[in-house]
Every structure is written in structure tokens, then in C-alpha cells.
Structure 1
Amino acid sequence: MPSFRLFFPFGLFFFVCLLSCQSNKKTPDISHIKADVKIERFDQELAQLDTLSVPKQNKLWQTKYAPFYQDFMLHMLEVGDARDTLYIDYMMKRILQQEDFKNLAAAVAEKYPSLQTQEKELSLAMRYMKYYFPAYNVPRFYSFFSGFSVQVPIGEGYVGIGLDMFLGSDSKFYPSLVRDIPLYLSRRFTPENITPRVVESILRQDLYPPDENNTSSLQHMVYQGKILLAMDSILPETADSLKIGYTAKQLEWAKGYEGEVWSWFLQEDLLYNTDHLRIQKYFTEGPFTAELGENNESAPKLGTYLGWMLVRKYMERNPEVTLKALLANSNAQEILEQSKYKGK
């Protein structure tokens, strides 16, 4: 089994905070918590690699960037086991000579000459993370590019940041990738998405992975709501549109039709539905929520949005419940009942 998990969360383009519906909960005092994030620029070292230095650097990186480097070579760049020196030497020399590699390396370097902004944002997020989860060990952070294979890989003691998946919505590369990455996804590949996507991946992969026993729409709804509520706590200054991955128009639509969508869930008996093929339409990415009609103007993943609002309402009505206690409560029905959520 590989020592990492690939995570491809999808955030969305940043829009003004006036259109977000952020929680008014007072933020805690984290002045006593230290968590200084330094992103290690593996992307720069890779971009500067020349063919004559491959054997030496391959050996060095196996130690310097362990275990990230082994995962990167085997599962992200997909060139093979880093310990297979002869094969790696051959494959890396081929890659380094490709114009596509050179062009991508240049684009990453131009977009990200510095990651100080992201380091500052992540340091603040990790301080909140440590406040809510004191036992959490802040990982090492590595920036890299892999030819658009993965955005935020999570591994043993590390978080990777695939900068080629954050080049900006207007990047020249993304239109040619539409068969694998639709434009409604790639337009979210912006610098502002780095910190939210890192936090989301840590929550989903390390701190609160999904329960395989969750089969009903309500259970999925509450799970998604818990993730976004945790993001509210860890990213208190981040726009809601960025956390959930909506455009400003989609967020406005979801807010405006929240009551009607909730009524639709009740009318169609969707809350307790366990038909995966049907309920997944309310939780997956897309340009809109497919079951509401083709090419409609709805926001996507409306089950996720409703879950977020439901869990927010639960926490508002139960201020004594901590974030850890919320995540530990696996009773989605209890959370629904105590929230008294009715679509608003």
C-alpha cells in the first residue's frame, strides 16, 4: 500500500465576502499557539535539475524529501520506484528534455516566485487547527508540479501542494485538459484556493475521513456539513464561496432557494434515500445539480450546501458542543432533530 492518499478537492474562484454567508461565531484566542509553516520548494529544485545531475539528486532527494519523494516518483509523476536508479536516470532524462516539462516548469516559476502569502495563510490555519485538535502534528509542506496529476496529496507526515493545479483560472494549459478536467473545475485552480484546499484535504483524509456505513442522503449531508463547519472554524476569514466551491452567483442561488430545495428533499423522500446513483447527484461536482433538469441554473452539490446550513444551525442551537464533539457524534438523525432545521 502506498504511504499517501491522493486528494483532489475542488474549491472555487474567490468572490467578495459580501456574498458569503459566514458564521458570526467569535474566533478563539490563538496567540499562544505556534505553528510556523515553511513550504519546501521541491518544484524549484525539480525545475533546475539538469540531465547530468539526475543520479546525484535522485539519491539526495530520497533522504531530503522522504517519504514524499518516493511517493512523488511512483504515484504522482509515475516514472517508477526512486530506488531503481538506472531506470529513474533514464526516465528523468527523457522528461527533462521535453518541451512540455520546460513550459510547465516556467509557468509555475512565473506564477509562484514566492509562497510567502500561502505560508502566512497556512501558518494561521495550522494555529487554528492546533487549537481545535491539540494532538494534531503539523506536517511538512512540499510544493511540486507533476503534469496535472494531483492537487493536494496527503502522505505520512506531509502535505503536497501541486502548483500546476493552482496556476489561475486563465492558465493557457487548462483548456487543453477539458476531457479530464472540465472548465467548471479548472476555473477554481487559483492561488486563493491553496489554503482552503489544504485544510479540506487534511480534514477529509487525516482528521475526519468519511464513514463507509453512511448510506443515506441525510448521513452524507451531515458529513459534508461537518467538514464545512470545521472549515468555518479553521478558516474564519475565508469567504464561504471559496470554502464550498461556488461562484458568487451559485452561492446567491443556493441561499435564495434554500427553503425550496429543502422542501424538494422532503417531497421526494430524499433525506433517507440510500440509492447511491440518485443521491450522489446532490453531492458531486458539476456546473449545476443535474436532477433538477438539464442545463438548469441551480448551484451544484445542493445536498452539501443544505448539510452545511443544517450543521451550522445545530451548532448555533447547541453552543456548548465543541468541534471535536460534533465530529464524534455519528447520529445524523439526532443532529437533524436538535438543529430544528427547516430549510432556513
Structure 2
Amino acid sequence: MILFNKTKQIYLFFFTGVLLSACGHKKVDVSNIPVNVKIERFDKEFDAMKTRPMVQQAAYLQNKYGRFYHDFIATLLQDNQINTTDTAYFALLRKVFVTKDYNDLKHDIDSVYPNLDKPEAELTDAFRHIKYYYPEKKLPAVYAFVSGFETPIITDNGLYGIGLDLFLGANSRFYPALTSAWPRYMSRNFNEQNICPRLTEAIIREDMFPESDSSKTLMSKMIYNGKIMYFMDQVLPDAADTLKIGYTDAQLKWCKQFESKIWAWFIDQNLLYESDYQKIQKYISMAPFTPGLGEKNESAPKLAIWTGWQIVRKYMEKHPDVTLQQLMADNDAQKILTESDYHPK
């Protein structure tokens, strides 16, 4: 059963990794920055409607979560015109609460996440780092909910939602039946380890530094994504490179081994200034591998993003006087590429 059919902004970069990178970031002290993330358990408070007086609990949820509650109910019941002030919809909710699908899913979520202490601690550290570099940044409210296997992260006007059903662990009993929507190369990374990086990445990409419509060429997309990844280096200083970009250990090793050949491929194929999305999307989008490169499908995906990351790291290494804020405000992709003197060997 699909419980949440309206996908808002989906971030499909779900991956694991254990290799810690010592390059690309500087350690800063954020311990005194007054940020403490609390993930509101909407999933638990919604589920409480089963046992508490439904009218009163609905009023409580409406007051606490506002439009999020309305949108959740509307998508759950597949009716965008639902009126949550009209108690007629309670009969439909009661039908949902007695289904085996709902109760099996809620059972597994509660088993995996009796609390969210670890993600809260990791997000607190990440948000403190964001505040360190951008003190005026207003950080979002964060809710945990059940997405019905639709979306891991949603954004909606200053709040972020975590779909816990897409963070149940690679071996969740539900994922084998969802391979058309979530192939194994994605679902193997649906775990607690990914909550903080994926939500942080969503904030960076969609809230703080959305990609300009003028970013058309592969080179401009390389540098844009490289800046995003470098920003993640700074605000997630203890996270593995594999986790930040979404590679397995083997894929990261492949990229490092063939870095010069990857760059030569982009040059030789005249791809840097290519703006035909059909030709360049395979170097940006997540996939099990990059077609045309590597033997036996061993290549890593998202090679333009990885290469852009290395270019930006090289640029910042050569320009230690450039601040993170200056880097993120600099939209001259060609300048960053040229001044990086990126020539992998």
C-alpha cells in the first residue's frame, strides 16, 4: 500500500561508505554555537490517533504541524481537496489504521527508530557548522513521518520531513518488492547513516544554493556540484567521502585509480561545454555505473559530480585566502576551473 503519493522534492542520493577523507575540509570548533536539533516525531503522534480521542488528537496535530498535517492527510487519503476541519475524513483514517500494511510498516519503523538520538546529534553538529559559516541562516524545523515509500526527504517552506520508511536498513523486508521504484543500488543505502547527509544536502542544494537556470553546460554543472560537495566537506567534516557522494568503497577506489582517464574522457569527447542534457545527464545522475566507461560495469556513476568536487578542492587548495562564503558566491565556473590548474596524473 502506498500511503504518501505526492512527491515534493526528492533527493535520491542514498548511499553508504566507511572511508573517511582527511582532505577537502578544515576542522572548526562549533561546540559553543547554540543549536540543538529536535526531530519531531509526527509519525508517532499521527499513529496516536488510533488510541486517543481522534477529534482531539487531530486538533492537536493541526495546531502543531499546520499545513504539513493537512498535506499529509490529503496525500494519505489521495484527496487533495480533503478538509481537515471536517470530521468526515476520520472514517477513512480508521480504515487505514486497521490495515496490515500500515501496521507492519509502523511496527518496523518503531523497531528501528525507538528514538532518533543519533540523527539528532549528527544534524545538530551539521547545523552548527552551517551556522558557523552563515550565522544569519535560519535553520528548518525537522519532522519524521511515514512517506509510504515515496520520498526520503521533503522540503516545504522552512521545514524538512524525513520519510523513515526509506531509512529502515538495506535488509528491510519491504524493499525487495519496491525495485521498480527503488533499485537495489539505491535501497542498499536506505539506513540511519544516511539521514544526516541527505537532509543536509537537501538544505544546501535546494534552500541555500539552488542551481541557476543558466547552468547548462556539463562544465558549469561540474563546478556547481563540486561546490556543493565541498560545502558538505566543511559542514560534515567527519563523514566519509563515499557517504557524501553516494559511492561504494569500490566505486571511490575506481575514481581515484582512473582520475586522469576520466578527465581525459571528458576532454576527448568534447563534453565540457556540451549543453544537450540527453548527452550529459548520465554523468550527473545516479545509476549503478556509467555506461561506456570501465570494464564489466565497474565504473562509478555521477562522474561529473565527482570530478567537479576534485576541481573545487584543487581550486581551494591553491587559493587558501578564498573563504567558503566567497567560493559559494562565485558563479564563474570557467574561472574556478582555470585557476584550479586541475591536471590529474
Q: TM-score range by the shorter chain?
A: over 0.9
Look up the match of 1:308: 309
Look up the match of 1:289: 290
Look up the match of 1:207: 208
Residue 135 of structure 1 deviates from its aligned partner by 1.2
Instruction: Work out whether residues 289 and 300 of structure 1, in 8 Å CA contact, stay in contact via their aligned partners in 2.
Output: yes
Task: Report whether the alignment pairs 1:9 with 2:2.
Answer: no
User: 3-state SS of the aligned residue for 2:35?
Assistant: coil
Q: Which amino acid aligns with 1:97?
A: V
Task: Quickly say closer, same or farther: Cα 1:63–1:293, change in 2 above 3 A.
Answer: same
Q: Give me the whole-angstrom Cα distance separating, in 2, the residues matched to 1:52 and 1:238.
A: 41
Q: Give me the whole-angstrom Cα distance separating, in 2, the residues matched to 1:77 and 1:291.
A: 44
Task: Report whether the alignment pairs 1:133 with 2:134.
Answer: yes
TM-score (norm 1): 0.93
Question: 1:78-93 counterparts in 2 under 5 A?
Answer: 78-80=78-80, 81=82, 83=84, 85-93=86-94
Residue 47 of structure 1 deviates from its aligned partner by 2.7
Task: Quickly say closer, same or farther: Cα 1:82–1:193, change in 2 above 3 A.
Answer: farther
Q: Give me the whole-angstrom Cα distance separating, in 2, the residues matched to 1:257 and 1:6.
A: 33
Q: Give me the whole-angstrom Cα distance separating, in 1, the residues matched to 2:295 and 2:94.
A: 48
CA distances 1:287-318 after superposition (whole Å, capped 9, x unpaired): 00124379521001111100110111111111
Residue 52 of structure 1 deviates from its aligned partner by 7.1
Question: 1:134-149 counterparts in 2 under 5 A?
Answer: 134-149=135-150
Q: Give me the whole-angstrom Cα distance separating, in 2, the residues matched to 1:304 and 1:88.
A: 46
Question: 1:1-40 counterparts in 2 under 5 A?
Answer: 5-17=8-20, 21-23=21-23, 25-40=25-40
Count the aligned residue pairs.
Answer: 338
User: 3-state SS of the aligned residue for 1:160?
Assistant: strand
Bigger drift between 217-226 and 78-87 goes to 78-87
Instruction: Work out whether residues 285 and 300 of structure 1, in 8 Å CA contact, stay in contact via their aligned partners in 2.
Output: yes
Task: Quickly say closer, same or farther: Cα 1:116–1:282, change in 2 above 3 A.
Answer: same
Q: Give me the whole-angstrom Cα distance separating, in 1, the residues matched to 2:88 and 2:22.
A: 51
Q: Give me the whole-angstrom Cα distance separating, in 1, the residues matched to 2:74 and 2:224.
A: 32
Q: Give me the whole-angstrom Cα distance separating, in 1, the residues matched to 2:303 and 2:88.
A: 48
User: 3-state SS of the aligned residue for 2:142?
Assistant: strand
User: 3-state SS of the aligned residue for 2:121?
Assistant: helix
User: 3-state SS of the aligned residue for 2:119?
Assistant: helix
User: 3-state SS of the aligned residue for 2:53?
Assistant: helix
Residue 45 of structure 1 deviates from its aligned partner by 1.7
User: 3-state SS of the aligned residue for 2:144?
Assistant: strand
CA distances 1:76-128 after superposition (whole Å, capped 9, x unpaired): 77454453534532331221121100000000000001111111111111100
Q: Which amino acid aligns with 1:35?
A: V
Q: Which amino acid aligns with 2:234?
A: S
Task: Quickly say closer, same or farther: Cα 1:214–1:75, change in 2 above 3 A.
Answer: farther
Look up the match of 2:3: none
Task: Quickly say closer, same or farther: Cα 1:290–1:307, change in 2 above 3 A.
Answer: same
Look up the match of 1:55: 55
Q: Give me the whole-angstrom Cα distance separating, in 1, the residues matched to 2:277 and 2:189.
A: 27
Q: Which amino acid aligns with 1:34?
A: P
Q: Give me the whole-angstrom Cα distance separating, in 2, the residues matched to 1:120 and 1:209.
A: 26
Task: Quickly say closer, same or farther: Cα 1:331–1:108, change in 2 above 3 A.
Answer: same
Residue 327 of structure 1 deviates from its aligned partner by 1.3
Task: Quickly say closer, same or farther: Cα 1:9–1:100, change in 2 above 3 A.
Answer: same
Q: Which amino acid aligns with 1:39?
A: I
CA distances 1:164-196 after superposition (whole Å, capped 9, x unpaired): 110001111011000111111111111000000
Task: Quickly say closer, same or farther: Cα 1:79–1:53, change in 2 above 3 A.
Answer: farther
Task: Quickly say closer, same or farther: Cα 1:78–1:85, change in 2 above 3 A.
Answer: same
Instruction: Work out whether residues 259 and 342 of structure 1, in 8 Å CA contact, stay in contact via their aligned partners in 2.
Output: yes
Residue 16 of structure 1 deviates from its aligned partner by 3.8
Q: Which amino acid aligns with 2:211?
A: P
Gaps of 5+ in 1: none
TM-score (norm 2): 0.92
Residue 46 of structure 1 deviates from its aligned partner by 2.2
| Identity between Structure 1 and Structure 2 (%) | 41
Look up the match of 1:221: 222
Bigger drift between 264-273 and 37-46 goes to 37-46
Q: Which amino acid aligns with 2:42?
A: F
User: 3-state SS of the aligned residue for 1:8?
Assistant: coil
Q: Which amino acid aligns with 1:6?
A: Q
Instruction: Work out whether residues 144 and 164 of structure 2, in 8 Å CA contact, stay in contact via their aligned partners in 1.
Output: yes
User: 3-state SS of the aligned residue for 1:40?
Assistant: strand
Q: Give me the whole-angstrom Cα distance separating, in 2, the residues matched to 1:162 and 1:86.
A: 26
Q: Give me the whole-angstrom Cα distance separating, in 1, the residues matched to 2:144 and 2:300.
A: 32
Residue 234 of structure 1 deviates from its aligned partner by 0.3
Residue 56 of structure 1 deviates from its aligned partner by 2.8
Bigger drift between 191-200 and 148-157 goes to 148-157
Residue 32 of structure 1 deviates from its aligned partner by 2.9
Gaps of 5+ in 2: 1-6
Instruction: Work out whether residues 147 and 165 of structure 2, in 8 Å CA contact, stay in contact via their aligned partners in 1.
Output: yes
